[in-house]
Structure 1
Amino acid sequence: MSEHRIKQKDIIYIIPDDELYAKYNSGEAFIDDYGRLMNKKPHRVLRELKHYVDQPPVVYRTIPPKPAVPTKRSNPMVDRLKDEARYKIEEVGEDLINRGVDKLVYEVIPNAWRNHVVPFFHGMIDALNSKESKADEILRKEEQKESSELAAKRHKTRIMTKEEAYKEKQKVLYHWLEMLNSLKKLAEAGEINYEEIVDQLTNSSNLQRVNTLLDENPNLLETDKYIMLHDLLGRDLYCEKKLIPIEEEEIRRVAENYKRNCE
């Protein structure tokens, strides 16, 4: 049993025995990015491999020393003239900088502020005030319009008392009941073509309105009207104080019975 070293991407992995190396060499196993020897089928870890970085040998280069630069002999007169020239240039530069700063601070910036910045802000304030006044005027007009419309609606709307509402509901219910009763009267008179009346009676909105009125107030029908509707339908209207809704089929069945009785 011997160790085998495999180099991948400048890293040397150590496979500890011949059996694992044979699997790697035959392609049954591979080394993943985490330095593990992985079996392909089934996919599982065979061994955590030891590894180290393959470092190339370090080559040291010797840098030859720079040749010595011969020093120039200084002249005291020349050095003094250079120093005086440098001092004069520094004085002139400092004076120019001071003059430029003074001009910027005391002339350029105040003029720009007075001639450009201040008028700009005044124009912005005037524009904002103008827009606010226009917006306030529009809102005031809208409020006046809404208040006038609301007042007009209140003027047109007539508030009904409970008694008046009760009477109106009773009228709607009695009108439908008279239409239903007219089927019987027409049948007794020998008239059997009353499809228009049946259509009005079985209209979904009419039936829903009648059922809603009867469900809201069981006492809406007077006794004689209740007995009339009971006889026409042939059944009770309520069961355990709950309305049994009147269906379209019932009305059509009543109409068919009247037709058969006349024929």
Structure 2
Amino acid sequence: MAEHRIKKNNVIYIIPNDELFEKWKADDAYIDDYGRLVNRKPHRVIKELRHYADDRPINVVSQPNNPVKTAKQDSPLMDYCKEKAMDACEYYLDKGLDWFFYEGLPNIWHKHVVPLYHQAKDALTTKEIKAEKVLRETPKKETSIVNSATKKKTMTAEEAELEKKKVLYHWFEMLVSLKKLHDAEEMDYDSVLAQLTDESMLKRVNAMLEENPNLLETEKYITLHDLLGRDLYKDKQLIPIKGEEIVTLAEKHNQNSAQM
């Protein structure tokens, strides 16, 4: 691998090997003003060349006459502008991040998240009050259903079925909302669970489901099936709902809440 000496502007530059020399000769690289062999595409420095001044006439290979587009050198003014632009970008980026974490995010939290939480809390509280009111009125409605069996003149069969459906749907909605009421922690959860598992209440619910399997809509039947984890009927006979099943369901809610 021979060294090659190139004369440029009264300076002798030494290219250390044939490969770099051929690259320079093919005009794929050039020698810049700092004595570096620079690749044209991509534009990068290949090697710092050894060089020395020599004004003596010497038979050296001259630079190809092909027009060479030297790399554009950045002026001090351009470097200064770039530096100031970078400083400005860093300043505004830091300022933007500070605003987001110390002003923007807290404002979003207080203006949107907190009001949404209070709305949800008020909605759950209102639902709880309505549920308790319906539970207090349940004995009266049950009395009306029993009286309808003996006094057909005061209540038609359609009216009796409607009243039964109200009681059954009320119990069903309480069961579906059991987890929400537990998570809300705004009411006596044990009291609601006791009402759902009350022996007389379950007896009425089972009696209504046994008397009329179509009393519960298909969608609600599927939901109840998923909650209990089993079918309600076997060979067209009701499998009574037991209080232990509801207690087990409540325990699952407690376990899920503890894991979250």
TM-score normalised by length of structure 1: 0.38
Larger radius of gyration: 1
TM-score by length of 2: 0.39
